[in-house]
């Protein structure tokens, strides 16, 4: 009898241990093909940081023919890498129960580029004969540029996401992602000046992490572990050895090379896209409620939303970030 009880106790203990050590499955969708701008997440996957936090993370890339956004609200994703706060405002406006829990870009990389030396500053761009802007931009930041920055609708022409027009006309200005088009233009022999919209007052966060309110309510500890691990991954990617992350990104997106990724990461650092502003004291992923309100005010003033149309209390949850998590990792890596 004692032997049977001992065996049963041992079996129970082993089962409990197995349960305790089982990693929680997490599916994380990104907003585009794998790239340097996703580097910290791939770093956390490649170097075992997610696993250290008890997570079995699957990264599902977005892309030209992939829209991961509806998969979050449908429950097929646990977390989604979003764009800027306008998408979150839209979710709240339309009653979609998703919430921003972190912002890994302190500055949105949306920019205008011009041929190097052609225009002295941002204000001079308002004299350009032509500004190429894509459809999404025309119904978002362009309205802000016209309403408060001195640009005119007469300048506007559609941007077809092809550099040919811009390269052939040195007076032309165009929309750009600050970590992409300037690199592509340089490869074609054209150096550019980059004007970040973020530096002119378009103060949205970007590369936000969204999740369902249901997950926050039912498993906040899982949300915290995923964000803590992602923050650590980003510090290690920016300031440590990111070789393994590069290899994983290139394997998933063979059009990239280590050289291209180096250029992208260099711009991310140079422009303060990820680690600047609030993140310097509060840690990566930091968000400030007053800043979110300020951007909503900007969007309303630009005619993008009506006053009272977006309930700010449902846009973001600030309890998982702003704790300085990972600052010790940065300090240690920078000291090496």
Q: Which two tokens stand for residue 24?
A: 């929680």
Question: If DSSP codes are grouped into helix, strand and coil, which group holds residue 207?
Answer: strand
C-alpha distances (whole Å) from 324 to each of 169, 195, 236, 241, 282 are: 46, 30, 15, 22, 4
79, 83, 84, 87 alpha-carbon torsion, rounded to 10° = -70
Task: Report CA Rg, the chain.
Answer: 22
DSSP, res 66: B
Q: At the fourth CATH level, which superfamily is domain 110-200?
A: Periplasmic binding protein-like II (3.40.190.10)
Sheet holding 131-133, edge to edge: 156-158, 131-133, 173-177, 110-115, 192-196
Please report, for the chain, the start and end positions of each structural domain, with discontinuous segments joined by +: 22-107+204-335, 110-200
- pTM of this structure: 0.92
**Can you give the pLDDT at residue 2?**
46
Residue 295: how many other CB atoms lie within 10 Å: 21
**Can you give the pLDDT at residue 166?**
98
Q: Please tell me the number of Cα atoms within 13 Å of 287 on its side-chain side.
A: 29
pLDDT in single tens digits along all 336 residues of the chain = 444 444 444 444 444 444 446 899 999 999 999 999 999 999 999 999 999 999 999 999 998 888 899 999 999 999 999 999 999 999 999 999 999 999 999 999 999 999 999 999 999 999 999 999 999 999 999 999 999 999 999 999 999 999 999 999 999 999 999 999 999 999 999 999 999 999 999 999 999 999 999 999 999 999 999 999 999 999 999 999 999 999 999 999 999 999 999 999 999 999 999 999 999 999 999 999 999 999 999 999 999 999 999 999 999 999 999 999 999 999 999 999
Residue 180: how many other CB atoms lie within 10 Å: 18
Q: Which two tokens stand for residue 281?
A: 């004291």
One fold for 22-107+204-335 and 110-200: yes
CATH class name, domain 22-107+204-335: alpha beta
Residue 56 main-chain phi, psi, to 5 deg: -105, 95
Q: Which residues contact 58 (CB under 8 A, 6 or more apart)?
A: 25, 26, 27, 28
């Amino acid at each position: 009898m004692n032997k049977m009880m001992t065996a049963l106790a041992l079996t129970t203990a082993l089962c409990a241990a197995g349960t305790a050590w089982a990693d929680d499955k997490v599916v994380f969708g990104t907003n585009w093909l794998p790239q340097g701008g996703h580097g910290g997440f791939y770093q956390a996957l490649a170097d075992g940081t997610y696993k250290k936090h008890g997570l079995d993370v699957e990264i599902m890339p977005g892309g030209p023919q992939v829209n991961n956004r509806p998969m979050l609200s449908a429950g097929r994703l646990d977390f989604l890498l979003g764009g800027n706060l306008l998408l979150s405002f839209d979710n709240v406006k339309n009653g979609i129960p998703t919430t921003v829990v972190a912002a890994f870009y302190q500055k949105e990389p949306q920019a205008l580029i011009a041929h190097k030396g052609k225009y002295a500053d941002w204000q001079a761009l308002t004299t350009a004969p032509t500004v190429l802007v894509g459809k999404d931009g025309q119904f978002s930041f362009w309205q802000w540029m016209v309403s408060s920055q001195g640009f005119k609708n007469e300048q506007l022409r559609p941007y077809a996401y092809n550099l040919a027009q811009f390269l052939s006309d040195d007076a032309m200005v165009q929309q750009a992602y600050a970590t992409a088009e300037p690199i592509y233009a340089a490869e074609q022999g054209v150096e550019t000046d980059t004007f970040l919209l973020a530096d002119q007052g378009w103060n949205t966060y970007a590369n936000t992490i969204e999740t369902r309110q249901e997950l926050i309510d039912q498993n906040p500890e899982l949300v915290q572990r995923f964000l803590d691990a992602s923050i650590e991954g980003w510090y290690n990617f920016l300031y440590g050895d990111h070789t393994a992350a590069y290899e994983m990104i290139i394997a998933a997106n063979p059009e990239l090379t280590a050289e291209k990724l180096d250029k992208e990461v260099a711009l991310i650092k140079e422009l303060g896209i990820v680690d600047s502003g609030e993140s310097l004291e509060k840690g990566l992923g930091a968000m400030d409620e007053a800043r979110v309100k300020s951007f909503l005010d900007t969007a309303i003033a630009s005619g993008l939303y009506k006053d009272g149309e977006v309930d700010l209390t449902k846009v973001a949850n600030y309890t998982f970030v702003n704790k300085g998590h990972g600052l010790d990792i940065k300090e240690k890596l920078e000291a090496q």
